[in-house]
Copies of this chain bind each other. A is one copy, B any other.
Amino acid sequence: MLPENSLKWGRSDNIIRELSAYGAARKAEISAENVFDFSIGNPSVPAPDCVKQAILEAMEQDTADLHAYTPAPGLMSLRRAIADDLCERGADVSPELVYVTCGASAGLAVSMRALLLPGEQVITFAPFFPEYSVFAEAAGGQLIALPPDEKLQPDVQALKAALNPLTKAIIINSPNNPSGVIISPEKLSELCDILRAAEAEFGHTIYLVSDEPYRELVYGGEEIPCPLCYYDNSILCYSFSKSLSLPGERIGYLAVNGGMADKADVFAALCGAARSCGYINAPSLIQRVVEKCLTATADISVYKENRRLLYEGLCACGFDCVYPDGAFYLFLKCPEPDARAFSQRAKKHELLLVPSDDFGLPGYVRVAYCVSPEMIKRALPAFNKLAEEYGL
């Protein structure tokens, strides 16, 4: 007998990986330019030059030191640089409260284990990254997903109704995967007021975990409010995967708000949870690289142009789309209620679109536009035919 959960998580279909594997096979069959793979959130833009430069410079160093263990929470110089960067954004974070992680997923998995007692709940808003529920369950807790409001913003009234004595944390994600929606400063402020009221009512801390790997991916000068400036009991979970186009290198961080009353305990619990998962330190060479490239980004103008091409193209086909303020995903409302059926039908036109069911909000498909602009142009006639099938 093996643990049921581990088996379930190991076996469960991952629709994104399935579509992407299907896409790879289909490309081999009918050639790559005839398959329109919008399934996966793998940055299409290369890492900025500073990444390559930093790696080459590191190669000039004494390599025994370069590849050695670092302290578990990361190199102090990197932690200091991250804290400085967050302070410049208005947050109150000291280097001692920064933990460099193997990406945002590691940060989230560790956070859930550091915060949740068995049976406690973490609330999030649909649509949401499906791994949230895996991480909450693995920590012995439970994920409660609330439907968003009509603009796909967090529904604060639904939050108010859902908060209860078992609520230990909430996770927000802005810009959002899969919708591209950004939580406005007003909405965030309202949400934090509600959390503070609930803390007072239930007599315990409710932690706000802000999952923000897409923070840098905004295209119209929108302000991404820093949740640490709005709520003391907050933890920021960041990844360099998207901003620096380094998803495979697994590097990000957790930052605990300096204003949090039990910040030392929370940081200790994060350290312990990371240790218990077998994390020793984030990859050492890449720690040095991101320290040198902390505020750099890949050329995100490509995504901005893709967004325009795709949004205008899909609207012209007659599709109803959520205009994405950030990230590199477009959320398309399916012209039939069953998103899986729509995704299947799209496949016949070689369009690979992820049905939204696993994101907790049925009826949409996620169109990842971290692809070449040429593919979008080639795909639009196929989208058009698909629209015609639905009489759009």
Contact = CB atoms under 8 A, between A and B. Distances in A.
Given A62-B46, A67-B246, A248-B70, A7 B110 contact: no
A329 to B, nearest CB: 16
Interface in A316-346: none
Given A64-B45, A102-B102, A245-B67, A117 B1 contact: yes
A6 B249 contact: no
Nearest to A41: B69
Contact of A6 (B3, B68, B108, B114): B114
Interface stretch (A8-16, A151-159, A177-185): A8-16
A117 B6 CA distance: 10
B269 A7 contact: yes
Contacts of A62: 46
Interface string A31-55: 0000000001011111100011001
A6 B272 contact: yes
Contact of A283 (B69, B248, B266, B268): B248
Contacts of A249: 67, 283-285
Q: How many copies does the complex hold?
A: 2
20 contacts: A1-B117, A2-B265, A3-B113, A3-B114, A3-B269, A6-B114, A6-B276, A7-B269, A9-B273, A10-B114, A12-B272, A46-B63, A47-B64, A66-B248, A69-B248, A105-B280, A106-B278, A134-B275, A134-B276, A248-B284
A82 interface: no
A108 B56 CA distance: 33
A63 B52 contact: yes
Q: Which of A52, A62, A284 has the most CB of B within 10 A?
A: A284
B44 A63 contact: no
A284 B117 CA distance: 34
A23 interface: no
Classify the secondary structure of A's interface with B.
helix
B284 A9 contact: no
A279 interface: yes
A69 B247 contact: yes
A226 to B, nearest CB: 23
B63 A47 contact: yes
B286 A283 contact: yes
A2 B204 CA distance: 11
Q: Which of A55, A107, A137, A279 has the most CB of B within 10 A?
A: A279
